[in-house]
C-alpha cells in the first residue's frame, strides 16, 4: 500500500474501532495520530513519506533490518505497547490511536503481494495477495475508506450523544475551528511528553 491509502485505512479503522470499542466518534487529533501511526512502519524505507522526513532514522533502520522487516512485525507492535505502558507521560498516551494506526499499516501491507514478516525474526512473509500496491484496486480502497469515514460522521451527526459534533450540525467552520484548537493543543502536549520520555 502507498502512504495515502495507509492514512485513509488507518483513519477508517480508528473511527470504526472508536465507535465499536469506546462507543463514540474519535476526535480529529485521534484520527490524525492514527493516520500518522499508519505511516510509522515504513520508517524502514528512506524513500517513504516519513523516511524522507527523518533520514537519520530511516537509513540506519533500512541498513539494519531492510524494508518490511522488524517494523512490519507483531513483535514491534508489542514493543510499541510496552514502551507506552512503561513510560507513563503526564497525560495518558493515545494508546488506541497509535496501536490501531500501526496495526492498520501491517494489515494493509498484508493484503498486497509483497506481504509482511508478521513473526519476525522468522523471515517468512505472510500475504493475502488481494491486490497490487498502487493499482486501480488500491485507488478504489482509498476512496472507499474515506467514504466509510464520512458515513460514520453522518451517522454520528444524527446521534444526540455526540456532543463534540454539535457545532458541526450548526456550522462546519465553527466545528473545524473548535477541533483545530482542541486537537492541536492535545498534539502539542504529547509531542512534549514524547520528547521527555525519549530523553
Ligand atoms: Zn509498509
pLDDT tens column, 8-37? 999 999 999 998 888 888 888 899 999 999
What is the pLDDT, as a whole number, of residue 90?
62
Measured in Å, residue 109 CA sits from the centre of ligand 1 at 6
Measured in Å, residue 119 CA sits from the centre of ligand 1 at 15
Closest by CA to 41, choosing from 64, 74, 15, 85, is 74
pLDDT tens column, 86-99? 877 666 788 899 99
What is the pLDDT, as a whole number, of residue 89?
66
What is the pLDDT, as a whole number, of residue 92?
75
Measured in Å, residue 111 CA sits from the centre of ligand 1 at 11
- Say which residue the cell 524505507 belongs to: 45
Which residue would you say has higher pLDDT here, 87 or 5? 5
Long-range contacts of the stretch 127-133 (C-beta < 8 A, 24+): 133/1, 133/2
Mean pLDDT score across all residues of the chain: 89
Measured in Å, residue 75 CA sits from the centre of ligand 1 at 15
Measured in Å, residue 58 CA sits from the centre of ligand 1 at 13
pLDDT tens column, 154-180? 888 887 777 777 777 788 888 888 888
**For the chain, what are the domain ranges?**
3-198
Cβ burial, residue 11 (10 Å; 0-12/13-18/19+): buried
pLDDT tens column, 46-102? 999 888 998 998 999 899 888 888 999 999 999 989 988 887 766 678 889 999 999
pLDDT tens column, 129-147? 898 888 999 999 999 999 9
Amino acid at each position: 500500500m502507498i502512504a495515502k491509502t495507509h492514512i485513509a485505512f488507518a483513519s477508517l479503522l480508528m473511527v470504526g474501532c472508536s465507535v465499536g470499542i469506546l462507543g463514540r466518534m474519535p476526535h480529529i487529533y485521534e484520527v490524525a495520530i492514527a493516520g500518522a501511526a499508519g505511516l510509522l512502519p515504513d520508517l524502514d524505507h528512506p524513500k517513504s513519506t516519513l523516511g524522507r522526513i527523518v533520514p537519520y532514522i530511516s537509513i540506519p533502520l533500512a541498513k539494519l533490518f531492510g524494508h518490511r522487516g522488524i517494523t512490519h512485525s507483531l513483535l514491534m507492535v508489542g514493543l510499541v505497547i510496552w514502551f507506552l505502558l512503561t513510560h507513563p507521560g503526564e497525560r495518558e498516551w493515545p494508546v488506541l490511536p497509535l496501536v490501531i494506526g500501526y496495526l492498520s499499516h501491517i494489515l494493509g501491507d498484508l493484503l498486497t503481494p509483497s506481504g509482511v514478516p508478521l513473526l519476525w525474526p522468522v523471515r517468512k512473509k505472510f500475504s493475502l495477495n488481494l491486490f497490487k500496491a498502487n493499482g486501480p484496486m488500491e485507488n478504489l480502497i482509498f476512496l472507499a475508506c474515506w467514504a466509510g469515514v464520512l458515513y460514520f460522521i453522518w451517522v454520528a451527526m444524527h446521534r444526540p450523544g455526540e456532543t463534540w459534533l454539535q457545532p458541526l450540525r450548526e456550522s462546519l467552520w465553527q466545528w473545524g475551528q473548535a477541533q483545530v484548537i482542541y486537537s492541536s493543543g492535545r498534539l502539542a502536549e504529547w509531542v512534549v511528553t514524547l520528547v521527555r520520555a525519549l530523553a
